[in-house]
Structure 1
Amino acid sequence: MASARPTVLIFSHGGIDGGHGNIKYAANTYQAEFCEPTVTPIQLLEDHPAVQAIWIVDHDIMLSIHKHISDRVVNYAGNGGTVILGGWFSSTMSPRVFSRWMEKAWNLPWRCGEVRTATVFLRDPAIGPHPNWQHALARSYHQKSTFLKNVSPTESWYTSVLA
């Protein structure tokens, strides 16, 4: 049933082509590139006001030239929207810039933690009112990534600590 599929906006620096994997089978996805003027993140937000999630794939949203996009995304999250920082985000960002962005734009204490390899586990309570997403999300997976610190367990879909 097509209407049961959530709508997810994907914001990236460049095209990710097939790189968004299985999400395209579980959700209606629309992608905008920060550097491509034909379809901008702002345009996608205007075209899809009832979007269920925004997936930010890389660090461009933290750049001052994209402050207007960052402000819209923060406002969307403040109104109950789901924002996912993933993909290449942690490998393309500066920890110092991330900390400043979290503090100034989001008013959050989130900071970069250590880079490590770990198995992460899905935290069902953090997903919130999107039960139709759970069937498409891996219960656990092994990754090497920058882990965040000062993040409440209720704000993280995946954690390296079993909850």
Structure 2
Amino acid sequence: MLDEAHAMPRVLIVMGVSGAGKSTIAEALARRLGWRFADADGFHPAANVAKMSAGHPLTDDDRWPWLQAIADEIDRVAAAGDHAVIACSALKRAYREVLVHGRGDVRLVYLDGDRALIAARMAARQHHFMPPGLLDSQFGTLEVPHADEQPIVVAIDRPVEAIVADILARLPAEKRNCVE
């Protein structure tokens, strides 16, 4: 296992409830680092998307194959010596354990924001399969990452570039290779 305090991770998982800005922040972070960006939404089977689009929250049984597909992608990225930033809700610790599965080269970035701010963002966005009505189920499922998971916790009530700068400042400086 890598020493998380001193080694640059292979994969950053930008996590939080729907509407927290995972895709926006992860994509901007990947761009700054010069890493590949992946959105976990793209790993959902069609049945999951249809269920959420109809306003029904996913069950754990719905999520396990999706999480395993993302974990397999993380393993592939690391095995190839590549880097990626993945936007993924990863709401429960058990989900994060599937994704990270003891790897020291995967780091969580938790986007922390209050329900009112996130609800306003969800109401304003268009063309997304997750309806605002499922926000309560997202917060109900959320298990905030604990210190032993070594998350980078960032507040989302700031501009995207400020959030990305905050995340970058918490990564190992000597190994950072940012693209401007």
TM-score between the two structures when normalised by the length of structure 1: 0.35
- Specify which structure has the bigger relative contact order, considering alpha-carbon pairs within 8 angstroms and separated by 6 or more residues: 2
Task: Determine which structure has the larger helix proportion and give its number.
Answer: 2
